[in-house]
A and B are shown apart, each in its own frame.
Chain A
Amino acid sequence: MAPQLTLQAPLQLPPSEVPAYLNRLWTDNLKDSSGAATFTLVVWEPSWLQQQLIRTGRADGPITGLLNDQLLEAAREAIGALGLPASTAPTAPDVAWALGQLPGSHGAEDLRGQFVDRAISAHQPRRLITLAPTLAGDQQLESTVAAYCPLPEERGVSADACGDVVVLRGGMGAMQQGLAMLQELIPSDLPCWVWWNGTMDESPELLEALAVPPRRLVVDSSIGEPRRCLDLLVQRIEQGQAVNDLNWLRLRTWRESLAMVFDPPCRQSALDQVVQLDIDVEGQHPVKGLLLAAWIADRLGWHLLNSFWIDGGAGEGRGIGAEFQRSDGQSVQFRLMPVPVGVSKMHPGALVGLRLICAPPQRPPLCVILCSESGGCMRLEAGGVASMELAEEVVPLPNESEEMEMARLLGGGHDSTNPLLASAAALAAKLLPN
């Protein structure tokens, strides 16, 4: 934990002794304080990709749980070597799974939970609990604890700014076993975030047990089987839980760019006249594109009539089509198509381009095209667009890490789901054909 002062070296303890030890620590060593009155952060940190890359000798240890450039590079190389489609994103679970089929037994020190991004530690979590499952399913449960305080030069060391870290490591069986103790470790009077930093389809019972309301759940709907991702999102939101989706948050620049096009009041009436919406995404994960489409449809008051699969050409994979009805009864056609890319972005289903065609009566149609900074969108620029009034924007790539995004949430969160995400997720789930 870089900017922090650890009060003692991380201590390995038998799991059963952890709760009592932490109690003692706070009452004896740090008198009159129960630590920073902030929040608890529980992180499910399987880091399967990093573990597999290290095991197969494609990356160096230690296991940290943090994705850096070397790891992404190694993952991209592996995608080629494993014969996965070039559009596969390095964080897609397929990569770790395919690596899992390869032989190899390189080991490395496991420091998960002990490297905390500065952006996160700056918020002084009261307790940071990391669940670090190992590749070996039968590994025994181990636990490590440490108390920490901000460095004296940053703030006067007073116990009301201090917190502790707990790491639980072991095979999947051991994780289940640690669960009961873990619940005991989450203070009930402070807000708690559960960051499910893995795929949304893995270990459903664990997720169920960890992410109980009113704990705030943070997921990434670009990682996992699309149907499961959207259903889980919707189900949690409907239960009244505060859900944050990193995949949705990463749409911010796209939403901003599209809103910008329609800021001038003279353009706003065109929003009532949309007839067609096209979205191109990388690879076979449609969730991000569907969330964007659903957000637009919801904001513009469209009603979904039907949705269906579209067979793309050879090698292009399946697309999704849908028909909406505008509030004036006119119809809007929607198409989401996977497009092949040479080098994929970090997360599955990244957006490549968006095209919105508005047909105001007695005026030439308006065509709005947004393209991702890193890939043109020639497909969307082709096909009759030339005769329309064209508004094109390039959407900048967000250059923030997951940890920055997470820190932003921890910096000041809500105990209910953002209503825009709530509406978009529900509609996106309907847009995905069965």
Chain B
Amino acid sequence: MAATQTNPLRVGLRQERVISPQCLVIFGASGDLTHRKLIPALFELFRQRRLPTEFSVLGCARRPWSDDDFRNRMAEAMADEVKQHQSAWQQFAACLFYEPVDLQQDEDVVRLGTRLEALDRQRATRGNRTFYLSVSPAFYGSGCRALANAGLLKDPSRSRVVIEKPFGTDYGSAQSLNRVVQSCGKESQIFRIDHYLGKETVQNILVLRFANAIFEPIWNRNYIANVQITAAETVGVEERAGYYETSGALRDMVQNHLTQMLALTAMETPGHFDPESIRSEKAKVLQAARLANEDEPWKCCVRGQYSRGGNPANPMAGYREEPGVNPESTTETYVAMKLFIDNWRWQGVPFYLRTGKRLPKRLSEVVLTFRKAPVQLFDAAGGTPTANQLVLRIQPDEGAGFVFDVKAPGSGMRSRPVDMHFSYDESFGEPSDEGYVRLLADAMLGDPTLFTRSDEVEAAWRLYTPLLELIEDAPHQLPVYPYEARTWGPSAADNLLAEDGLMWRRP
């Protein structure tokens, strides 16, 4: 969220929740995520005085770094930040430590336990620990097991494990990973990351729905005609071809981020605002969701892949020409689909999801379109009357908008739509926490609200199982349609809605 100006009175007012003394152990400390996101987020928390004095970060990976190597590498990676806040960095760097650990070597993990005890004494961190697995997903299960075997997850109130995405690659693998992870500790100790939940506006869906009495009575099939959820990116695959080729848009975006937006939009009202009530409602609504046509899933899903585009001045390569991509790749970079939720609230209301790379705009939004007025009293200036729409904008220009009809100026009584607009920037100005700042703080606070629970992850994978199986077994039935880079996806995706007499919103 770009801040136009910051409010001088707001400085230091974000410290309501206190992170207790602890040691944050990062596995994968020499990796990309640690220096790009995790350490910068921690430094931000440190500068805002949201970390206690009794705090330490213990970086772990296989390479034989010393504490100082680790500190220096992190300082190099964040050189600009460090230069701006040199004395703060000196103090922060004194909390950074490193221990060479191979997660696959039990004796390494036992040695880690000894180092942690020493650090606890040195830093008075009260035996309280958060373990962050920022390693290849192949190590999530064995990593947890190694920690449990070394007795490091024994006390559920003083140890937590944060697991990066992706959690499994399909329903079966997510289930078995859950089984392994749950055999190592209690569910309350496991924090599965979904970056979208770190976004303020995704959290705002909850507040908007449940803090305002006006929305809940109309938030159902009686008033809402359909829901569209979009996450569009302008970038291509960039340097992630190796990973993306094995994943594709369905696994990379839909199963996690879009499904989280779906769950927050469609869930029932929780009885309390506590993590378990919220997560239970999210899991329930995902269990009630299904593809619009499970028997013939190709009829309710469209896949696409970007081809060349741009213009002579700025040509854009097609996906198959990108470095690291198989020239005959059938990996989808775009996917659109139609879902239903079989419960009292949503029976018969279609939910349309779409996401893609190399689309014309970078944007994420949830759009609820309301039913038309039962009787049309006025002529619409634009020919047909527009339906009311509530638009929840996740990024960029975070906020919400409401489209409704007013009298068109002039003689007569014609109606035309206008847009009522709320913007975070205009109202609050203040940049909100970067996603990782929020998620790291919550994990260290032991607050799992913004992390996905085992049943949610499994329900999300199960929802897309018919599609994943089809792609595996009979890919020709779900062809990958090419679309020109920087256009709104293949025309087949438009047909998906045209069959229902609808159109995608052109944001």
**Which A residues contact B (CB, under 8 angstroms)?**
36-39, 123-124, 155-156, 160, 189-191, 252, 255-256, 258-259, 262-266, 268, 271, 296, 299-300, 408, 411-416, 418-420
Contact = CB atoms under 8 A, between A and B. Distances in A.
A420 B10 CA distance: 11
B124 A190 contact: yes
B12 interface: yes
Interface size class of B (residues with CB under 8 A): 20 to 34
B53 A299 contact: no
B375 interface: no
A412 B427 contact: no
B13 A155 contact: no
A256 B20 CA distance: 23
B126 interface: yes
A262 B427 CA distance: 9
Nearest to B444: A412
B238 to A, nearest CB: 33
B24 to A, nearest CB: 13
A189 B19 CA distance: 21
B5 interface: yes
A36 B120 CA distance: 11
A268 B9 CA distance: 10
B157 A155 contact: yes
Interface in B2-37: 4-5, 7-13, 18-21
Given A263-B429, A264-B427, A264-B428, A299 B9 contact: yes
B8 A300 contact: yes
Interface in B54-94: 54
Contact of A268 (B13, B425, B429): B429
Q: Is the interface of B mostly helix, strand, loop or mixed?
A: loop
A259 B13 contact: yes
Contacts of A300: 8
B274 interface: no
B362 interface: no
A412 B124 contact: no
14 contacts: A37-B120, A37-B121, A37-B126, A38-B124, A39-B124, A156-B154, A259-B13, A264-B426, A268-B5, A271-B9, A299-B9, A412-B21, A418-B49, A420-B12
Contacts of B4: 265
Interface centre among B4, B53, B425 (most CB of A within 10 A): B53
Q: What are the 8 A-B residue pairs with the smallest beta carbon separation, nearest first?
A: A412-B52, A265-B429, A259-B9, A412-B18, A411-B18, A415-B53, A299-B8, A259-B10
Contacts of A191: 53-54, 124
A187 to B, nearest CB: 10
Interface centre among B7, B11, B19, B429 (most CB of A within 10 A): B7
Contact of A155 (B18, B21, B155): B155
Contact of A414 (B9, B10, B49): B49
Contacts of B20: 123, 411-412
B127 A37 contact: yes
A420 to B, nearest CB: 5
A420 B427 contact: no
Interface in B145-170: 154-155, 157
Contacts of B5: 265, 268
A36 B127 CA distance: 9
A189 B124 CA distance: 8
Given A37-B121, A155-B155, A412-B20, A263 B8 contact: no
B53 A413 contact: yes
Nearest to A295: B9
A181 B335 CA distance: 73
B430 interface: yes
